[in-house]
Amino acid sequence: MNEKLQLGKNVYKNYVYTLLQNIDLTRGIWMIYLASKGMSLTQLGLLETIFHITSFTMEVPTGAVADIFGRKTSRIVGRIMSLISVIILLLANSFLWFSISFIFTALSYNLESGAGDALIYDSLKEIGEEETYMKVSGRKELFFQVAGVISFFVGGYLATKSYNIAFLLTILIAVITIGQSFTFKEPNVGRVKSVHGEENIFINQLKTSLKIILSKPKIGFLIIFTQILMAFCTCIFYYLQNYLKGDGYSEAIIGVIYAVCSLASALVSTQVHAIEKKIKEKGILLLTPLFTVGCIWGIALSKYHYVFFVLLMITEGIIYVSISDYINKMIPSENRATILSFASMIFSFFMITLFPIVGLLGDKFSLSIAFKFLGSVGIVFIVINSYILLKREDNKRHKKTTEKVTKSEI
């Protein structure tokens, strides 16, 4: 088969892969499941911290693995790690084994996080269609959210009958996903070759990637901007399960609420490229933090918290699709997976800090207080982010004015 055709098929195979990978029937119930096994909110916060400490330390090395040994290889190993984690979570009954499960889950995310996007972007780049990436990413987000709809509806319903059935079906789907991950074609663009010897290839890859980030401060800014907002959204996503349960909602109703979020996000994600054309990069960077933090306060203060949760998840989808495109356009293929893994490492850093604090506040006071704390941190971020962006715009205008004056003098 023609290599260009195979690379083009990667895009469509990735839609199927995204759907299968994210049909996780435990996704909307795992915190309730672990609480039913005796875990407190503080312990749940610690488990998530263990996940992110693992992710923080292993993100960049696994990104280098994808750049050096191939995105496809990294993806396959990641799916195997995910399967192991679900099996352990089903069979475990102690904090220690739950922790081990979370370590494997983190490694599965690490091996996929930079590799997956790099595989698709570089496939498009090799066939000269990288400008379509935002549209492709938006469609991928659609499949991700459809998987969420299935996961939350079915998982929520099964949780009212038996947690074990939800876990066993998730294991079966994971096995199928491993098989499907073997069907991708590895792009030639971006494969790193050893120059200084095999023993130095990892160190050289990390150094080169770090130099690229430091030489282009905008990459670093976009990474930090995105990951802070994603950390806010993720904290709300997980703790809201227990918040709703405490409010008297059943697992089935919680599943419906989360499914509606996924459906709404799916519909909007395919139109992110059109939204971005209207409000541009500046609009995305200024408005999405305001919407994110506004929704967090809506969840904390309003009895219609589920409405604000839906809006929050829509905003998260817009952030992911648009800024992922901005970052990918700025980095070379040879360092793509490694630099994208830097982004995930920053996300883990913020989660290590925020997630256990939210859990502790939830235990000591209430989750409503914890959400208000998160909203307060968000206001500080809005002020800092707005100052940086407006300062940057002011510097640009000043530079243009200076250049015009210089030219007129000449």
**Tens-place pLDDT, residues 124-172:** 888 888 888 888 888 888 898 889 888 888 888 888 888 889 999 999 9
CA distance 66 to 43: 33
Mean pLDDT of 197-220: 77
- For the cut 70, the answer to whether the pLDDT of residue 199 exceeds it is no
324 neighbors 117 (Cβ within 8 angstroms):
yes
Tell whether 9 is covered by a domain: yes
Q: Which of residues 408 and 2 earns the better pLDDT score? A: 2
- For the cut 80, the answer to whether the pLDDT of residue 177 exceeds it is yes
pLDDT on residue 400: 64
pLDDT on residue 359: 85
* Mean of the per-residue pLDDT values of the chain: 85
336 neighbors 192 (Cβ within 8 angstroms):
no
304 neighbors 254 (Cβ within 8 angstroms):
no
68 neighbors 146 (Cβ within 8 angstroms):
no
The confidence band for 57, taking pLDDT boundaries of 50, 70 and 90, is confident
Instruction: Rank 68-77, 89-98, 190-199, 265-274 by mean pLDDT and report only the highest.
Output: 89-98
Tell whether 192 is covered by a domain: no
Domain range enclosing 400: 3-185+209-409
The confidence band for 399, taking pLDDT boundaries of 50, 70 and 90, is low
- For the cut 90, the answer to whether the pLDDT of residue 352 exceeds it is no
Tell whether 53 is covered by a domain: yes
> Position of tokens 């759907």?
19
pTM of the prediction?
Answer: 0.71
Half-sphere exposure of residue 35: CA atoms within 13 angstroms, side-chain side: 18
Q: Which of residues 204 and 381 earns the better pLDDT score? A: 381
Backbone φ, ψ for residue 49 (5° rounding): -65, -40
Tally of structural domains, the chain: 1
Please provide the DSSP assignment of 72-101 as one string: HHHHHHHHHHHHHHHHHHHH--SHHHHHHH
- For the cut 60, the answer to whether the pLDDT of residue 41 exceeds it is yes
- For the cut 90, the answer to whether the pLDDT of residue 104 exceeds it is yes
Q: SS in 3 state form for 376-393? A: HHHHHHHHHHHHHHHHHH
pLDDT on residue 398: 62
pLDDT on residue 60: 75
pLDDT on residue 410: 55
Tell whether 195 is covered by a domain: no
Mean pLDDT of 190-219: 71
The confidence band for 61, taking pLDDT boundaries of 50, 70 and 90, is confident
Mean pLDDT of 71-82: 92
Radius of gyration of the chain, Cα coordinates, nearest whole angstrom: 21
Mean pLDDT of 255-268: 86
- For the cut 90, the answer to whether the pLDDT of residue 381 exceeds it is yes
* CA-to-CA separations, 69 to 80, 179, 330, 341, 355, in angstroms, rounded: 17, 19, 22, 15, 33
- For the cut 90, the answer to whether the pLDDT of residue 103 exceeds it is yes
Q: Which of residues 65 and 119 earns the better pLDDT score? A: 119
The confidence band for 406, taking pLDDT boundaries of 50, 70 and 90, is low
The confidence band for 79, taking pLDDT boundaries of 50, 70 and 90, is very high
The confidence band for 401, taking pLDDT boundaries of 50, 70 and 90, is low
> What CATH number corresponds to the domain at position 27?
1.20.1250.20
Mean pLDDT of 55-69: 79
Mean pLDDT of 208-228: 87
331 neighbors 212 (Cβ within 8 angstroms):
yes
Mean pLDDT of 325-346: 82
Mean pLDDT of 242-271: 85
**Which amino acid makes up residue 8?**
G
Tell whether 371 is covered by a domain: yes
Please provide the DSSP assignment of 147-187 as one string: HHHHHHHHHHHHHHH-HHHHHHHHHHHHHHHHHHHTTPPPP
Which of these ranges, 48-57, 73-82, 85-94, 360-369, has the smallest mean pLDDT?
48-57
Residue in 3, 250, 267, 23 with CA at minimum distance from that of residue 138: 267
Tell whether 237 is covered by a domain: yes
Tell whether 235 is covered by a domain: yes
- State percent of the chain over pLDDT 90: 29
Mean pLDDT of 75-98: 93
Tell whether 202 is covered by a domain: no
